[in-house]
Each structure stands twice: as structure tokens, then as C-alpha cells.
Structure 1
Amino acid sequence: MEHSSTLTPPAERLEWAKRAVAVTFLANGMAFGSWASRTPAVKAVLHLDASGLGLLLICISIGSLTALPLSGPLVHLVGAGRAVLVSAAAEVSGFGVAAAGLSASRVELTGAGLVLAGLGIGTWDVAMNVEGAAVERWLGRSVMSRFHAGWSLGSVAGAGLGAVCAGIGVGVATQLVVTAVLIAVLAAVGASRYLAFEPHPQRSEPGRSKALLGAGWRDRRTLFIGLMVLAFAFTEGVANDWMAVAVVDGFDSSDAVGAIGFGCFVVAMTLTRLVGGSALDRWGRLVVLRSSVFVAAAGVLVVVTSPFLVLAMAGGLLWGVGTALGFPTGMSAAADDVPRAAIQVSVVSSIGYTAFLAGPPLVGFLGDAFGIRNALYVVLAALVLGLVTTAHARPLPDGMR
């Protein structure tokens, strides 16, 4: 990965590094969950309507998408551990600025803080995925999906923190400050246990990272992996944003039932990520990815066409199982080419994350025209793209790593 030594780290060191990566995934997810759980409070504090809140939420995406192409050269130059620390500092600072904006009821200051936090989130994402792929390679078994399960668990923990704070009357600005302190501590602890970064003289050559980044965007395999990740990210993002709405509107159910429908998806996805490494080791990437596409498609079809709520819930479970392994496996595949791992992970992330920005409004527009459940058919088109690009996730031969 971004570790130039060919000597295998000691087993104990690898175990600590694996735990450290899990901690940083969890912390990153916690930050997201803590913020996302209080968006109704943000809307009220800043006196925003739905469209105004939507524009504010895009600020994080703008920051993240700006950071993703730049984060690869940063990780390549300074290593994943230092990049996590830099990105955590940006995210913590961003939350602090956003908290100040909320306290003063200033939308523009809150938005500026969220852009800064988004810059940190995007860089952090690439750095921890690069480190996770390095640990996975040295361990000789698939563990990336478990790291991504840690992110999901962290988001649940962050949402729990938000629920507790809301329940006891803690303001959203105060909660953001508490969250910033927590993720700063977790990032520092996790990054300190990352595998040692061994700088190479060529890394600091003028234009070296820029040249590698350009090569990454011209690499056919990397671009196709990016499209595969985009397909799975779109499939996941649509469920995150619209599963609950589809249950409520499609079956005239309560918000609580809609939350249960979304919960079916999240629980299935998280559990599959926890155990998915064994499936990848046993059957390989291609079999697992192609099977995932068909399982996800079956789940979407059940959610869209079922006349019964209980079957739609079961469809949500299938949707979660089918979605779970695409994104983390794509990150592992992007990092196969060890010398260029950081660059290629940043390229794949840049392509994949556009789905999280474009997916929600696309489904919203289609939902206005055809109904939310019918709008979900668009996910099948994304899954076709995922199916035809899975071949490019095949592991590289040892001689090409």
C-alpha cells in the first residue's frame, strides 16, 4: 500500500493496526450519524424551509467531493496516519465553525463550517480505506467489509448520541462540539496505531503526485472500478434516503413503520459486512459481487411491486444484503496496485461518491412524476452498470502489484 517496506509487520503490530483502522472507521461514521440525526433541529434553529435545508446539506457533499481527488496525493506524500490527523483537524474545525453558526443563527457561517467538515470527511475516507487495504493485504484475508461495518455501527452510535441529546434538551450546537471532541480523540488514538509510513525520496519530487493522479484518471481498470462503486453507492444511497419514504407513502404507514423499513435495510447491510469477508475469501470477488447485484435487484423489485408491507420489509433486507459488499470490495480492488494505491482509491472514491450527491434528487424528481416506489426502478439501471463492471474488480496478478 503506502508502505514501502516489503517486510511483513509482526502479527501483534498487524492486529493493533486492524483495530486502529476499525476505530477510525467508527469515528468517521459517528460524526456522520451525530450530524444527520439532528437535521430537524438544524432546520428549526436556522428557520429554514425544506429547500433551504437541502442546500445547506449539500455543503458537506461539496467539501467532500472537492477533497476526494486531492486526498490521494496527500496520502501518497505523508501516509495514511498523518492524513487522518489532518482530515480530523479539518472536520473538528468545521464542526466548531458550524456550531458557532448555529449558536448565532447564521446560515452562511454554518454552511462554511460544513464545507470545511466535508473537506475533512473526504480526505479521512480515502486515508482510512488505503490503510484498511494495506492491513487486509498483510493479513492475507478479506477484512475491508468489516471496517465498513464499523462505519455503519459508528453512524448508529452517532444517531444514538443525537437522540439522547435531543431527549434531554441539549442544543445541536453543543452536540456538535461534543462530537468534535470525541472524533478528535478517536482519530488521534487510531492514527497512532497505523502501520509505519516509510517515505520514499521519489514521493517528494516536484510534480510526482500530480503525475500519478493524472495516470490514475487515465487508468482503464481504475475508472471501471469507479463506475462499479458508483453503481453500488447509488443503490445504497437511494435506500438510505428513500426507503423509509417508500414504506410510508407506498403503504400509507406511519413514520415509525417507515423507520422500521429503513432499519431492515441498515441491519441487513451491517450484518452482511460483518460476515462478508468469509464469503469473499471462499468464493472470490467476482462471484460475490455478481451475486450481490442479483440479490439487491431482487430486493428492489420486491419493495417496488409487493402489495404487502411485510414482503416489502423482506425486500429491504435483501436490498441491504445485496448492497453491503460492493463499496468496500471496490476499495480493496482499487488498492491492488500497491505503489499507486492512494491515488487510485481517491479516483474511485471521487467517481463513486457522486452517486451520493446525485442519487437523492434524481429519485425525488422521478418520485414527483411517477410516485416514490416506481421511482426506485432507477436503481435497477444502476445495478446493470454494476454487473457489467464487476469483471474489472478481479484481483491483479501478484507480479502486477
Structure 2
Amino acid sequence: MSATELVRARRATAATFALVGAISAVWVVRIPALRDKLDLSEAQVGIEVLAWGAGALAAMHFAARLMAAHGSHRVLRYSVPAAVASLSLLAFAPNFPSLAAGGLVFGALFGLVDVAANAQAAELERASGRPLMGKMHAGWSLGAVLGGLLGAGTAAAGLGFTASVALAAVLALPVALFTVPHFRAQDPADAEREESAAAGGPLPRVIYLLGALMFCAFLAEGSVADWSSLHLHDSLGVSEAVAALGYPVFELAMLAGRLFCDRVTERVGGRVLLAGAGLLAALGFAVLTATEWVGAAFVGLALVGAAVCVVVPLTFSLAGLAGGTRSAAAISRAGMFGYSGLLLGPVAIGFIAEHWSLRISFSVVVCTCLLITVGAVRLPDLRVSHRPQDTDKPEPRAPGTASPTNQGSTPCQGLSRK
């Protein structure tokens, strides 16, 4: 693949992350409007989130085999436009059963896009010889900020849930079609090895620990995405338009953190970074839970965003490295663990809020964030290293160093102790 094609593939993949972040943000920040439109209870809102998560997890179960057989680029070519189109199922749902069914379909397509986009990003990391996952996930955060602002703007303009989500789909579809021809096709030899290994033995144990850390981070992210606007609106008494700004503030902090994620990981190592992220996220949720002042609540959301932003891209990248020739299977398995947090967490918060309050629900998330720190100390100090696989020119190297082709490698290259 030429340097120009590699750049186009990186841009298309980053655009995909941004696109999915945007279409996800639009509908979650308008959950209060959705609740009012269909007269939903907190428990029914939780069930809708459950349907979305169940669809995503079901799709992730088959994503590794689909990518092994067809490549992440082909999966993305079909699933990205379909995911955008499926927003209409949410926008025009006339009742709760049809909303839950639409959430199931949207979640399934989201799951396919997410796993395939992360697999595509991992392939681009190997091809370009440098970490990219943090910046790819920064694309998600940028898209979520833009989508959240669009949702807040439509709320301020008096548009309902249907008009807001339908408008987002119309705006997103041209971007989805732009990405289609530019994804990087997998090398035939790599594809053959991936397909033959798709039904192989157990994956390295570190992948399951990485998936557990991802679970906690996604639970925290899902709690903010699905419940922060309701908390700001119901507990602190702000308007719907102001409440809708909570999620963009959270994602803006995530965006800022992810722009520096790759650089910080290489300097301090994954264990230190993950441990600190867990502590800072717990502090942010504690502020959000305890405060009665909306300004402090926004500070708490920003702290959570700045903290958890590093966990998901780092664990996805490391899972891809640890999986070796089964990188797609490793990413899919870790993603299934992670998105279980999005599946179970917001639903549990909904039922706790139904019987007690959202403040008590967020107190539970404080403990979950602390588990990230506990899990991080059980990892080796993580340093992500990459070497180009298929550039047009040989990798530059200092005089007297060994040729990259003569250096040993292992399936867990990049996972090392200091």
C-alpha cells in the first residue's frame, strides 16, 4: 500500500470513529425528549439501552469470523452506511416495542462497525509503524462533541426527538459514503492466517484482564452518555438544553486527553496511566454525585472524560498486539467484555434510580472506576511498540542497529516490563 493510500485509509478510519460517535451522541443527549415523546419510565429507558447493548454484543460475537473471512475493510464498507440508515428506526419509532426493536438493530450495526474500525486501526498501526489508536478514538470524541452540540442545538430550537435524530442521519450519510472506498484491504497472507486461526485455542489471559478494564471504562462512559442529561435536568433542575451540554463537555475532555494518549503511554507506560485514570475518574464521579451546583457538576464530567478517555483505546490496541495472528479475535473478545459494561451498567443505573435516585446510582460508578486502578496494578508496565509492515521504503534505523527483519517478535510484542 502506497503512502497516499495509507493516509487515505487513516482519514477514512478516523472519520468512521467520528461518525459513529456523532450519531450515538445525538440520540443519547435527546433521551429526555425521547422519554417525553413515548412517556417512558426510567426502567424503560434502561431497557432501550439494554436492547442497544444486546444487539452490539450479539454482532461482536460474530464480528471476528466475518473479518477473518472478508476483512475489516469489507465489513466497514457495508456496516457504516447501514448503521447511519438504522437511525431512522429510532427516530420514527411510534411506541416502546418498536423503539426497542430499532435499538437492537442499531446496536448490532454499531457493534460491527466498532469492532471492524478498531481492527482496521490496529492494522494501520502495524502498517505505519507508530501508535494511532488514541488519535482514532479522539475522532470518536470529536464526533460525539459535534453530535452532542447538534442535539443541544435542536433542543434549544424546540425540535423534538424525531426531527433531531432524522436530521443527524441526513447529515451523516454523505460522510459514511465518503469513507467506503478508502479502507485498507488486509494482506492476503495475513487474511489467510487470521481465518485459519479464527477458531483456534484460547486467547492469552492478558486479553481478558484488558477486557475487564475496558468493561469498567465503558460502564463509566455509558453512565455519562445515558444518564448525565437526566441527572442534570432532574437532580439539579437545569433546562433540557443546558442538560444536553453535559455530554459534549464530557466528550470534549475525552477528545483533549486522547490527542495526547499515545504520547503519554509511550512515556509513562500503560500501568501507571491506567491506574491514574481510575483514580481521577472516581474523583470526577464523586464530584458529580455530591454537588448541588451545576458548574461543579460540569467539572466532574470533565474530570471523568479526561480520565477514562485513555482506557478504551489503550486496551483495544494492546489486545490487538497480544492476539498476534488472531488480532481480530482478540479485539472482538475484549470488545465483548468492554461493551458488556455499556450493556449492564446503564441498565443497572436505571433500576437503581427507579428505586432510589440517580445520585446513588452514580455512587456505584465511583467504586467501578476504582476497580480500573486495582486491575491496572496487576498488569505489567505496558509499552506499545510498532514496526512498519508494508511501507514502500525500508524503516529508517540508526547506524549499527540490527535490521528489523532480524529482530525477534512475539504475539505479545509491546507488552513488557520496564
Q: TM-score range by the shorter chain?
A: 0.7 to 0.9
1:186 aligns with 2:175: yes
Aligned to 2:136, which of 123, 143, 147? 147
CA distance, structure 2, for counterparts of residue 262 and residue 110 of structure 1: 22
CA distance, structure 2, for counterparts of residue 374 and residue 112 of structure 1: 30
Q: 2:262 aligns to what?
A: 277
Q: 2:24 aligns to what?
A: 32
Aligned to 2:340, which of 345, 354, 377? 354
Q: 1:340 aligns to what?
A: 326
Match of 2:334, SS?
A: helix
Q: 2:403 aligns to what?
A: none
Provide, for residues 135-181 of structure 1, a one-character-per-residue CA deviation record: whole Å limited to 9, x for no partner.
22333333312221211222333344445666778775566555445
Change (3 A) 1:240 1:25: same
CA distance, structure 2, for counterparts of residue 222 and residue 198 of structure 1: 24
Q: 1:124 aligns to what?
A: 113
Q: Is the 8 A contact 1:88 1:187 kept in 2?
A: yes
What is the percentage of aligned positions where both structures have the same residue? 29
Aligned to 1:267, which of 240, 246, 252? 252
* TM superposition shift of 1:29: 1.5
Q: 1:399 aligns to what?
A: 409
Change (3 A) 1:395 1:201: closer
Match of 2:64, SS?
A: helix
Match of 1:394, SS?
A: coil
Residue ranges of structure 1 left out of the alignment (5+ in a row): 1-8
Q: 1:211 aligns to what?
A: 199
Q: Is the 8 A contact 1:85 1:191 kept in 2?
A: yes
1:222 aligns with 2:211: no
Q: Is the 8 A contact 1:92 1:184 kept in 2?
A: yes
Q: Is the 8 A contact 2:49 2:343 kept in 1?
A: no
Structure-2-length-normalised TM-score: 0.79
* TM superposition shift of 1:236: 2.0
CA distance, structure 2, for counterparts of residue 90 and residue 344 of structure 1: 25
Aligned to 2:65, which of 49, 73, 79? 73
Q: Is the 8 A contact 2:156 2:241 kept in 1?
A: no
Q: Is the 8 A contact 2:265 2:383 kept in 1?
A: no
CA distance, structure 2, for counterparts of residue 115 and residue 268 of structure 1: 29
After TM superposition, the structure 1 stretch with the greater mean CA deviation from structure 2, 339-348 or 157-166, is: 157-166
CA distance, structure 1, for counterparts of residue 20 and residue 365 of structure 2: 27
CA distance, structure 2, for counterparts of residue 201 and residue 263 of structure 1: 39
* TM superposition shift of 1:257: 5.7
* TM superposition shift of 1:188: 3.5
1:290 aligns with 2:252: no
- Tell me which amino acid in the other structure corresponds to 2:132: V
Structure-1-length-normalised TM-score: 0.81
* TM superposition shift of 1:338: 3.6
* TM superposition shift of 1:227: 0.2
Aligned to 2:124, which of 122, 135, 138? 135
Provide, for residues 79-122 of structure 1, a one-character-per-residue CA deviation record: whole Å limited to 9, x for no partner.
111111232254245335555x53xx355444433322221110
Aligned to 1:328, which of 291, 303, 313? 313
Q: Is the 8 A contact 2:73 2:183 kept in 1?
A: yes
* C-alpha RMSD of the superposition: 3.4
Match of 1:211, SS?
A: coil
